[in-house]
Amino acid sequence: QVQLVESGGGVVQPGRSLRLSCAASGFTFSNYAMHWIRQAPGKGLEWVAVITHDGSGKYYADSVRGRFTISRDISKNTYLQLSSLTAEDTAIYYCARDDPSGQGDYWGQGTLVTVSS
Partner 1 sequence: DVVMTQSPLSLPVTLGQPASISCRSSQSLVHGDGNTYLNWFQQRPGQSPRRLIYKISNRDSGVPDRFSGSGSDTDFTLKISRVEAEDVGVYYCMQGSHWPPYTFGQGTKLEIK
Between CA 83 and CA 73 the distance in angstroms is 20
Q: Does 25 sit near partner 1 (CB under 8 A)? A: no
Candidate segments 12-20, 68-76, 81-89, 95-103, binder of partner 1 by CB under 8 A: 95-103
18 or 50: whose CB is closer to partner 1? 50
Q: Are 112 and 94 in contact (CB under 8 A)?
A: no
Q: Does 109 sit near partner 1 (CB under 8 A)? A: yes
Count of chain residues binding partner 1 (CB under 8 A): 23
How many angstroms separate the Cα of 86 from the Cα of each of 14, 19, 62, 72, 109? 5, 15, 15, 24, 23
What is the distance between the terminal CA atoms of the chain, rounded to a whole angstrom?
Answer: 40
23 or 61: whose CB is closer to partner 1? 61
Q: Does 7 sit near partner 1 (CB under 8 A)? A: no
